[in-house]
Amino acid sequence: MSTSASSKSKSSLIPKSHPRAKSLLVREKLVQGFDAGLVAKEGLLAQGRGEAFDYLLGEKTGKAARNAIKAAAAQLLLADYPIISVNGNIAALCPRQIIRLAKQINAKLEVNLFYTSEKRKKAIVKILRENGAKEILGIDPKKATKLSGIDSARRIVDKNGIYAADVVVVPLEDGDRTSALRKAGKTVITFDLNPLSRTSQTANITIVDNVTRAVDLLREQSKKLAAKTNQKTLQKIIDEFNNKKNLSENIIQIKNNLTRRAGIA
Ligand code: ATP
Ligand code: MG
pLDDT of 200-247, one tens digit each? 999 999 999 999 999 999 999 999 999 988 999 999 999 999 999 999
Chain-centre distance for alpha carbon 77: 17
Interaxial angle between packed helices 95-105 and 211-228, expressed in degrees from 0 to 180 and rounded to the nearest 10? 20
pLDDT of residue 4: 44
Closest-lying ligand 1 atom to the alpha carbon of residue 50: 20
What is the CATH architecture assignment of 63-251?
Answer: 3-Layer(aba) Sandwich (3.40)
Q: What pLDDT does 150 receive?
A: 77
How far is the C-alpha of 161 from the C-alpha of 228, rounded, in Å? Answer: 29
Q: Are 46 and 56 in contact (CB under 8 A)?
A: no
Residue 19 buriedness (CB in 10 A; 0-12 / 13-18 / 19+): exposed
At residue 22, the pLDDT reads 80
Any ligand 1 atom below 6 A from CB of 201: no
Q: Is 128 in the pocket of ligand 1 (CB under 6 A)?
A: no
Residue 211 CB–ligand 1 contact under 6 Å: yes
54 lines ligand 1 (CB under 6 A): no
Mutation probe of ligand 1 site: the residue of 51, 191, 199, 216 with most atoms within 8 A of C-beta: 199
19: confidence class by pLDDT, cuts 50, 70, 90 = confident
DSSP secondary structure letters along the chain:
----HHHHHHHHTS-TTSTTHHHHHHHHHHHHHHHTT-S-HHHHHHHHHHHHHHHHHTSS--HHHHHHHHHHHHHHHH-SSEEEEE-HHHHHH-HHHHHHHHHHHT-EEEE--SS--HHHHHHHHHHHHHTT---EES--GGGEEE-TTS-GGGGEEETTTGGG-SEEE-TT--HHHHHHHHHTT-EEEEE-S-TTSHHHHHSSEEE-S-HHHHHHHHHHHHHHHHHH--HHHHHHHHHH--HHHHHHHHHHHHHHHHHHHTT--
Phi, psi of 198 (to 5 degrees): -60, -40
Q: Which sequence spans correspond to the domains of the chain? A: 3-11+19-57, 63-251
Instruction: Give the per-residue pLDDT at 141.
Output: 92
Other CB atoms within a 10 A radius of the CB of residue 119 amount to: 8
Q: Is the pLDDT of residue 8 over 80?
A: no
pLDDT of residue 62: 96
Percent over 90 (pLDDT), the chain: 81
Residue 6 has pLDDT above 60, yes or no: no
**Cβ neighbours for 182, distance < 8 A, ≥ 6 positions apart:** 188, 202, 203, 204
Q: Is the CB of 191 under 6 A from ligand 1?
A: yes
Could you tell which of 42, 49, 188 is best to mutate to test the pocket of ligand 1, judged by most ligand atoms within 8 Å of the CB?
49
